[in-house]
Structure 1
Protein backbone atom coordinates (compact mmCIF):
# COMPACT_ATOMS: atom_id res chain seq x y z
CA UNK A 1 0.00 0.00 0.00
CA UNK A 2 2.85 2.41 0.73
CA UNK A 3 4.12 2.11 -2.82
CA UNK A 4 0.64 2.82 -4.20
CA UNK A 5 0.24 5.88 -1.95
CA UNK A 6 3.77 6.94 -2.91
CA UNK A 7 2.79 6.64 -6.57
CA UNK A 8 -0.36 8.71 -6.11
CA UNK A 9 1.51 11.44 -4.24
CA UNK A 10 4.19 11.32 -6.91
CA UNK A 11 1.50 11.61 -9.59
CA UNK A 12 0.28 14.87 -8.07
CA UNK A 13 3.87 16.08 -7.86
CA UNK A 14 4.42 15.04 -11.48
CA UNK A 15 1.38 17.04 -12.64
CA UNK A 16 2.60 20.10 -10.72
CA UNK A 17 6.14 19.63 -12.04
CA UNK A 18 5.08 19.29 -15.69
CA UNK A 19 2.47 22.05 -15.46
CA UNK A 20 4.74 24.62 -13.83
CA UNK A 21 7.65 23.65 -16.09
CA UNK A 22 5.59 24.22 -19.23
CA UNK A 23 4.04 27.43 -17.93
CA UNK A 24 7.46 28.89 -17.13
CA UNK A 25 9.05 27.47 -20.29
CA UNK A 26 6.58 29.23 -22.62
CA UNK A 27 6.36 32.50 -20.65
CA UNK A 28 8.96 34.16 -18.43
CA UNK A 29 11.68 31.53 -19.00
CA UNK A 30 11.25 31.09 -22.75
CA UNK A 31 14.70 30.09 -24.07
CA UNK A 32 14.49 32.71 -26.82
CA UNK A 33 14.55 35.35 -24.05
CA UNK A 34 16.43 33.64 -21.21
CA UNK A 35 19.50 31.54 -21.88
CA UNK A 36 19.15 28.51 -19.67
CA UNK A 37 15.42 29.10 -19.35
CA UNK A 38 14.41 25.43 -19.65
CA UNK A 39 16.87 24.40 -16.94
CA UNK A 40 15.71 27.23 -14.63
CA UNK A 41 12.09 26.28 -15.31
CA UNK A 42 12.84 22.66 -14.42
CA UNK A 43 14.63 23.67 -11.20
CA UNK A 44 11.68 25.80 -10.10
CA UNK A 45 9.00 23.28 -11.06
CA UNK A 46 10.85 20.43 -9.38
CA UNK A 47 11.40 22.43 -6.18
CA UNK A 48 7.66 23.07 -5.97
CA UNK A 49 6.88 19.41 -6.65
CA UNK A 50 9.36 18.38 -3.92
CA UNK A 51 7.51 20.52 -1.36
CA UNK A 52 4.16 19.02 -2.37
CA UNK A 53 5.59 15.49 -2.34
CA UNK A 54 7.09 15.97 1.12
CA UNK A 55 3.72 17.00 2.53
CA UNK A 56 1.93 14.11 0.82
CA UNK A 57 4.49 11.53 1.88
CA UNK A 58 4.80 12.85 5.42
CA UNK A 59 1.08 13.07 6.11
CA UNK A 60 -0.22 10.19 3.97
CA UNK A 61 2.27 7.69 2.51
CA UNK A 62 4.51 7.32 5.57
CA UNK A 63 2.18 8.88 8.16
CA UNK A 64 2.79 6.10 10.67
CA UNK A 65 6.53 6.62 10.48
CA UNK A 66 6.94 10.37 10.33
CA UNK A 67 9.46 11.68 12.78
CA UNK A 68 9.18 14.21 15.56
CA UNK A 69 12.26 16.02 14.24
CA UNK A 70 10.48 17.69 11.33
CA UNK A 71 13.44 19.84 10.30
CA UNK A 72 15.82 16.90 9.99
CA UNK A 73 13.19 14.80 8.22
CA UNK A 74 12.49 17.58 5.71
CA UNK A 75 16.20 18.20 5.06
CA UNK A 76 16.77 14.49 4.43
CA UNK A 77 13.71 14.39 2.17
CA UNK A 78 15.06 17.32 0.16
CA UNK A 79 18.51 15.68 -0.10
CA UNK A 80 16.98 12.52 -1.58
CA UNK A 81 14.67 14.55 -3.83
CA UNK A 82 17.49 16.76 -5.14
CA UNK A 83 19.59 13.68 -5.86
CA UNK A 84 16.60 12.22 -7.72
CA UNK A 85 16.12 15.53 -9.54
CA UNK A 86 19.54 15.11 -11.14
CA UNK A 87 18.21 12.44 -13.51
CA UNK A 88 15.62 14.61 -15.35
CA UNK A 89 17.88 17.68 -15.24
CA UNK A 90 20.74 15.77 -16.83
CA UNK A 91 18.41 14.39 -19.51
CA UNK A 92 17.10 17.89 -20.24
CA UNK A 93 20.57 19.46 -20.36
CA UNK A 94 21.95 16.79 -22.71
CA UNK A 95 18.94 16.95 -25.01
CA UNK A 96 18.67 20.75 -25.12
CA UNK A 97 22.30 21.88 -25.04
CA UNK A 98 24.36 18.93 -26.28
CA UNK A 99 22.03 17.39 -28.85
CA UNK A 100 20.43 20.69 -29.89
CA UNK A 101 16.83 19.47 -29.46
CA UNK A 102 15.39 22.77 -28.28
CA UNK A 103 11.65 22.55 -28.91
CA UNK A 104 9.10 22.51 -26.11
CA UNK A 105 8.23 18.96 -27.15
CA UNK A 106 11.87 17.80 -26.92
CA UNK A 107 12.33 19.48 -23.53
CA UNK A 108 9.25 17.68 -22.19
CA UNK A 109 10.26 14.31 -23.61
CA UNK A 110 13.79 14.53 -22.23
CA UNK A 111 12.97 15.81 -18.75
CA UNK A 112 9.46 14.54 -18.05
CA UNK A 113 9.30 11.27 -20.00
CA UNK A 114 12.87 10.00 -20.08
CA UNK A 115 13.98 11.72 -16.86
CA UNK A 116 10.90 11.19 -14.70
CA UNK A 117 8.60 8.75 -16.43
CA UNK A 118 10.88 5.74 -16.83
CA UNK A 119 10.65 4.98 -13.13
CA UNK A 120 14.34 4.86 -12.17
CA UNK A 121 14.12 8.11 -10.24
CA UNK A 122 10.89 7.02 -8.55
CA UNK A 123 12.33 3.70 -7.41
CA UNK A 124 15.50 5.45 -6.19
CA UNK A 125 13.45 7.96 -4.16
CA UNK A 126 10.97 5.40 -2.76
CA UNK A 127 13.72 3.17 -1.43
CA UNK A 128 15.64 6.03 0.17
CA UNK A 129 12.49 7.66 1.63
CA UNK A 130 11.34 4.33 3.07
CA UNK A 131 14.71 3.24 4.44
CA UNK A 132 16.40 6.51 5.37
CA UNK A 133 13.98 9.44 5.70
CA UNK A 134 10.95 7.56 7.05
CA UNK A 135 12.75 4.36 8.08
CA UNK A 136 11.20 2.45 10.96
CA UNK A 137 14.49 2.44 12.85
CA UNK A 138 14.67 6.24 12.59
CA UNK A 139 11.29 6.98 14.14
CA UNK A 140 11.63 8.10 17.74
CA UNK A 141 8.83 7.08 20.05
CA UNK A 142 7.01 10.03 21.57
CA UNK A 143 8.09 11.10 25.03
CA UNK A 144 5.71 10.56 27.92
CA UNK A 145 5.56 11.94 31.42
CA UNK A 146 5.57 9.32 34.15
CA UNK A 147 3.72 9.68 37.45
CA UNK A 148 6.73 11.34 39.10
CA UNK A 149 6.72 14.09 36.45
CA UNK A 150 9.83 12.86 34.62
CA UNK A 151 9.91 12.70 30.84
CA UNK A 152 10.60 9.17 29.60
CA UNK A 153 10.63 7.40 26.27
CA UNK A 154 7.80 5.02 25.44
CA UNK A 155 10.17 2.40 23.97
Structure 2
Protein backbone atom coordinates (compact mmCIF):
# COMPACT_ATOMS: atom_id res chain seq x y z
CA UNK A 1 0.00 0.00 0.00
CA UNK A 2 1.53 3.33 -1.00
CA UNK A 3 1.94 6.00 1.61
CA UNK A 4 -0.56 8.25 -0.14
CA UNK A 5 -3.27 5.60 -0.29
CA UNK A 6 -2.56 4.60 3.32
CA UNK A 7 -2.88 8.25 4.36
CA UNK A 8 -6.11 8.55 2.37
CA UNK A 9 -7.52 5.41 4.05
CA UNK A 10 -6.63 6.72 7.50
CA UNK A 11 -8.15 10.13 6.75
CA UNK A 12 -11.34 8.44 5.54
CA UNK A 13 -11.55 6.42 8.77
CA UNK A 14 -10.92 9.54 10.86
CA UNK A 15 -13.65 11.44 9.00
CA UNK A 16 -16.05 8.56 9.57
CA UNK A 17 -15.14 8.47 13.26
CA UNK A 18 -15.64 12.23 13.59
CA UNK A 19 -19.02 11.97 11.87
CA UNK A 20 -20.18 9.18 14.19
CA UNK A 21 -18.82 11.05 17.21
CA UNK A 22 -20.72 14.10 15.98
CA UNK A 23 -24.03 12.24 15.63
CA UNK A 24 -23.81 10.91 19.18
CA UNK A 25 -22.49 14.25 20.41
CA UNK A 26 -25.29 16.28 18.84
CA UNK A 27 -27.87 13.93 20.32
CA UNK A 28 -26.09 14.21 23.69
CA UNK A 29 -26.10 18.01 23.44
CA UNK A 30 -29.84 17.86 22.78
CA UNK A 31 -30.37 15.66 25.84
CA UNK A 32 -28.11 17.91 27.91
CA UNK A 33 -29.79 21.19 26.93
CA UNK A 34 -33.30 19.73 27.16
CA UNK A 35 -32.79 18.42 30.69
CA UNK A 36 -30.99 21.63 31.72
CA UNK A 37 -33.88 23.82 30.58
CA UNK A 38 -36.60 21.52 31.94
CA UNK A 39 -34.89 21.51 35.33
CA UNK A 40 -34.51 25.31 35.26
CA UNK A 41 -38.15 25.87 34.32
CA UNK A 42 -39.81 23.24 36.51
CA UNK A 43 -37.67 23.09 39.64
CA UNK A 44 -36.09 26.52 39.91
CA UNK A 45 -32.65 24.99 40.47
CA UNK A 46 -29.70 27.32 40.16
CA UNK A 47 -28.09 27.20 36.71
CA UNK A 48 -24.93 25.30 37.62
CA UNK A 49 -26.77 22.70 39.70
CA UNK A 50 -29.25 22.06 36.89
CA UNK A 51 -26.34 21.93 34.45
CA UNK A 52 -24.44 19.34 36.49
CA UNK A 53 -27.50 17.06 36.62
CA UNK A 54 -28.07 17.48 32.87
CA UNK A 55 -24.39 16.80 32.19
CA UNK A 56 -24.45 13.54 34.18
CA UNK A 57 -27.53 12.31 32.30
CA UNK A 58 -25.93 13.18 28.95
CA UNK A 59 -22.68 11.42 29.95
CA UNK A 60 -24.61 8.17 30.46
CA UNK A 61 -26.46 8.71 27.17
CA UNK A 62 -23.19 9.40 25.35
CA UNK A 63 -21.41 6.34 26.76
CA UNK A 64 -24.09 4.07 25.32
CA UNK A 65 -23.92 5.87 21.97
CA UNK A 66 -20.14 5.84 21.79
CA UNK A 67 -19.73 2.21 22.88
CA UNK A 68 -22.43 0.75 20.63
CA UNK A 69 -22.29 3.13 17.63
CA UNK A 70 -19.16 5.26 17.29
CA UNK A 71 -16.57 2.87 18.72
CA UNK A 72 -18.33 -0.48 18.37
CA UNK A 73 -15.38 -1.88 16.41
CA UNK A 74 -12.84 -1.01 19.09
CA UNK A 75 -11.30 -3.32 21.66
CA UNK A 76 -13.94 -4.48 24.15
CA UNK A 77 -11.52 -6.05 26.59
CA UNK A 78 -11.39 -4.53 30.04
CA UNK A 79 -14.89 -3.07 30.18
CA UNK A 80 -14.37 -1.99 33.80
CA UNK A 81 -11.24 -0.08 32.81
CA UNK A 82 -13.10 1.47 29.88
CA UNK A 83 -15.99 2.66 32.06
CA UNK A 84 -13.57 3.96 34.69
CA UNK A 85 -11.58 5.97 32.15
CA UNK A 86 -14.75 7.18 30.43
CA UNK A 87 -16.08 8.40 33.77
CA UNK A 88 -12.77 10.06 34.66
CA UNK A 89 -12.46 11.95 31.37
CA UNK A 90 -16.18 12.75 31.34
CA UNK A 91 -15.88 14.34 34.78
CA UNK A 92 -13.00 16.49 33.56
CA UNK A 93 -15.18 17.48 30.60
CA UNK A 94 -18.04 18.21 33.02
CA UNK A 95 -15.74 20.50 35.02
CA UNK A 96 -14.79 22.36 31.83
CA UNK A 97 -18.40 22.58 30.65
CA UNK A 98 -19.88 23.69 33.97
CA UNK A 99 -16.87 25.86 34.81
CA UNK A 100 -17.62 28.05 31.80
CA UNK A 101 -21.24 28.40 32.96
CA UNK A 102 -20.14 29.06 36.54
CA UNK A 103 -17.74 31.86 35.54
CA UNK A 104 -20.36 33.49 33.31
CA UNK A 105 -23.17 33.20 35.87
CA UNK A 106 -21.39 33.99 39.12
CA UNK A 107 -18.19 35.69 37.97
CA UNK A 108 -19.66 37.96 35.30
CA UNK A 109 -23.24 38.01 36.66
CA UNK A 110 -24.74 37.01 33.31
CA UNK A 111 -27.72 35.14 34.70
CA UNK A 112 -30.54 35.20 32.17
CA UNK A 113 -32.10 32.25 30.39
CA UNK A 114 -30.40 33.25 27.15
CA UNK A 115 -26.95 33.77 28.67
CA UNK A 116 -27.24 30.52 30.66
CA UNK A 117 -27.94 28.61 27.45
CA UNK A 118 -25.24 30.40 25.46
CA UNK A 119 -22.55 29.69 28.05
CA UNK A 120 -23.81 26.16 28.65
CA UNK A 121 -23.48 25.54 24.91
CA UNK A 122 -20.04 27.20 24.79
CA UNK A 123 -18.87 25.03 27.69
CA UNK A 124 -20.16 21.92 25.93
CA UNK A 125 -18.22 22.90 22.80
CA UNK A 126 -14.93 23.38 24.63
CA UNK A 127 -15.40 20.18 26.65
CA UNK A 128 -16.26 18.25 23.47
CA UNK A 129 -12.83 18.91 21.99
CA UNK A 130 -11.21 17.53 25.14
CA UNK A 131 -13.58 14.55 25.24
CA UNK A 132 -13.01 13.59 21.60
CA UNK A 133 -9.26 13.51 22.11
CA UNK A 134 -9.39 11.65 25.43
CA UNK A 135 -12.04 9.09 24.46
CA UNK A 136 -10.32 8.07 21.24
CA UNK A 137 -6.85 8.08 22.84
CA UNK A 138 -7.51 6.46 26.21
CA UNK A 139 -11.00 5.00 26.49
CA UNK A 140 -12.06 3.41 23.20
CA UNK A 141 -8.65 2.22 22.09
CA UNK A 142 -8.02 0.55 18.79
CA UNK A 143 -7.39 -3.13 18.61
CA UNK A 144 -3.99 -4.33 19.76
CA UNK A 145 -0.97 -4.04 17.45
CA UNK A 146 -1.11 -7.64 16.18
CA UNK A 147 -4.71 -7.31 15.05
CA UNK A 148 -4.00 -3.96 13.42
CA UNK A 149 -0.97 -5.35 11.57
CA UNK A 150 -3.03 -8.32 10.38
CA UNK A 151 -5.78 -6.03 9.08
CA UNK A 152 -3.23 -3.84 7.28
CA UNK A 153 -1.62 -6.93 5.73
CA UNK A 154 -4.99 -8.05 4.37
CA UNK A 155 -5.57 -4.59 2.87
CA UNK A 156 -2.09 -4.58 1.35
CA UNK A 157 -2.61 -8.02 -0.21
CA UNK A 158 -5.99 -6.96 -1.58
CA UNK A 159 -4.49 -3.83 -3.09
CA UNK A 160 -1.67 -5.81 -4.69
CA UNK A 161 -4.20 -8.17 -6.21
CA UNK A 162 -6.14 -5.23 -7.66
CA UNK A 163 -2.99 -3.76 -9.22
CA UNK A 164 -1.96 -6.96 -11.01
CA UNK A 165 -2.84 -6.90 -14.68
CA UNK A 166 -3.45 -10.02 -16.74
CA UNK A 167 -0.26 -11.35 -18.28
CA UNK A 168 2.00 -9.71 -15.69
CA UNK A 169 3.77 -11.84 -13.09
CA UNK A 170 2.84 -11.34 -9.48
CA UNK A 171 5.34 -9.34 -7.40
Larger Cα-atom Rg: 2
Superposed, 1:1-155 pairs within 5 Å as 1-28=16-43, 30=44, 34=45, 37-112=46-121, 114-117=122-125, 120-136=126-142
1:5-62 deviations in Å (ceiling 9; x for gaps): 001000110000000000001121x2xxx5xx21111111000100010001001111
Distance in 2 between the 1:93 and 1:132 partners? Answer: 28
Distance in 2 between the 1:20 and 1:71 partners? Answer: 28
Displacement over 4 Å in runs of 4+: none
Residue 99 of structure 1, CA deviation: 1.2
Structure 1 stretches of 5 or more lacking a match? Answer: 142-155
Distance in 2 between the 1:48 and 1:7 partners? Answer: 18
* Cα contact 2:28–2:62 (8 A) shared by 1: yes
Q: CA RMSD for the aligned pairs?
A: 2.0
Question: TM-score, length-normalised on structure 2?
Answer: 0.71
Point out the structure with the larger helix share: 2
Aligned in 2, Cα 1:84/1:137: closer, same or farther, shift over 3 Å?
same
Higher alpha-carbon deviation: 90-99 or 65-74: 65-74
* Cα contact 2:75–2:142 (8 A) shared by 1: no
Tell me how many residue pairs correspond in the alignment: 132
Question: TM-score, length-normalised on structure 1?
Answer: 0.78
* Cα contact 2:48–2:101 (8 A) shared by 1: yes
Which has the bigger relative contact order, CA under 8 A and spacing at least 6? 2
